[in-house]
Amino acid sequence: MHGRSHDPNAGLTLEDFHYDLPQSFIAKRPVAPRDSSRLMVLDRAARSIEHLAFSSIPSFLDEGDCVVLNDTKVMPCRLQAARQDTGGRVELLFVRRRGEGLWEALVKPGRRMKQGARLVMNGGGIAAFIERVQGSTFLFRVKEPFEGYMESWGEMPIPPYMKRRADVEDRDDYQTVYARTAGSCAAPTAGLHFTRETFQKLEAKGVEIAKVLLHVGPGTFRPLKPGPIAGQTLDPEYFEVTTDACQAINRTRGRGGRVFAVGTTTARTLETLADLSVANSTEGARVNLPGPGEGCEMTTRAAETAPGLVPAKGWAEKFIYPPYDFRVVDALITNFHLPGSSVMLLTCAFAGRELILSAYEEAKRTGYRFYSYGDSMLIV
């Protein structure tokens, strides 16, 4: 694995990652079929750009490479509600389970939320306010099984910049075809372009498919602070990486293959795991990872996957921004991101800030569609 080079005194500010994007470039619906979206191929070494369709993605992988996916599933976690005492309308976005019958939710508007307040959700369920967690995030008590209630009455949490309410089409559109474990309040959008035919073509070429899990949390809705990047933090997000996934990635690296991370959430998970794997020098070691859980636990014998990645689960809060030397990821499949967002900063760390900003200008010039339902970029 490569060494990590992360200079906290790089002097970058959030304003260094700004670009102008007219509203007309923001995709409000995906294209159909999924793999007919456009694909910009950005070659870091050649500093070149190629314009293709996403359906051509298998042509960039060789036998022995590995595609790593985040198979989290988006919850229909946005519910409309009314204050039981006043009838005032509010919107709830449930972002994280905290225990039996306890959920964190973003509330809009949440300024007047008081201890003991009760909200009647569409469908008749009650969310009883317990305490403020931070900002507009509150802890509520709800009746279990709440996941089933959300499935019946919730809306998909499409981003607010789409400027519309989610509908029945978003139940499929805002979910990858390989989504497995519910727990995210936003989609790992780089994966939305993949179809089952894409995976058939990859497997026919001898490309391995590995899956990790990272539940996209409320931090995706919180903008970074203006000013210096160094010292800022991200909300922790729950992740799991299995023995099978580690072995597939370790095999790939051992034979000289490349690791293609599908999305910034996958890249963050793999780089978090790389840090923990280095720290895990003895069998059954436990590494405490700050977050709202019990830390991070190595879940298998180191001998099974050494000398590479070792399986783990816990809370990831790794913030990747330039300069950064990636340990695991050799190629990145991603979308076009909001200015100054943490995911844009990770993309800039992978390809270079100037190259990404120039690629975004080229994307605007040639009519690419931006953000969650927009087009795709492959960085090699």
pLDDT in tens, 334-352: 999 999 999 999 999 999 9
All structural domains of the chain with their residue ranges: 14-74+172-379, 78-154
Question: What is the rounded average pLDDT for all residues in the chain?
Answer: 90
What dotted CATH number matches 78-154? 2.40.10.240
pLDDT of residue 280 exceeding 80, the answer is no
Whose CA is closest to 68, among 268, 260, 349?
260
Indicate the range of 60-64, 113-117, 126-130 predicted with least confidence: 113-117
Tell me, what's the pLDDT at 220? 79
- Interatomic CA distance for residues 202 and 194, integer angstroms: 11
Placement of tokens 């919180």 in the chain = 222
Placement of tokens 């059954």 in the chain = 284
- Give the H or E element holding residue 51: strand 48-53
- Interatomic CA distance for residues 9 and 15, integer angstroms: 16
Contact (CB, 8 A) for 341 and 224:
yes
Tell me, what's the pLDDT at 63? 98
Tell me, what's the pLDDT at 303? 35
Secondary structure of residue 315 in the 3-state scheme: strand
One-letter-per-residue 3-state SS of 93-157: EEEEEEECCEEEEEEECCCCCCCCCEEEECCCCEEEEEEEEECCEEEEECCCCHHHHHHHHCECC
- Enter the pTM of the model: 0.90
Tokens coding 373:
């339902």
Secondary structure of residue 91 in the 3-state scheme: strand
Placement of tokens 């200008």 in the chain = 361
Q: Tell me the pLDDT band of 110, cut-offs 50, 70 and 90.
A: confident
H helices, E strands: number in the chain? 7, 19
Compute φ and ψ for 301, nearest 5 degrees: -70, 135
Contact (CB, 8 A) for 324 and 352:
no
pLDDT in tens, 174-224: 999 999 999 999 999 999 999 999 999 999 999 999 999 999 998 877 889
Tell me, what's the pLDDT at 194? 98
CATH fold for domain 14-74+172-379: QueA-like (3.40.1780)
- Interatomic CA distance for residues 2 and 325, integer angstroms: 7
pLDDT in tens, 227-246: 999 999 999 999 999 999 99
- Interatomic CA distance for residues 155 and 144, integer angstroms: 18
Tokens coding 346:
């990770």
**Rounded to 5°, angle at Cα 14 from 13 and 17:** 105
Contact (CB, 8 A) for 241 and 213:
yes
Residue 97 backbone zone (phi > 0: left; psi -120 to 50: alpha; other: beta): beta
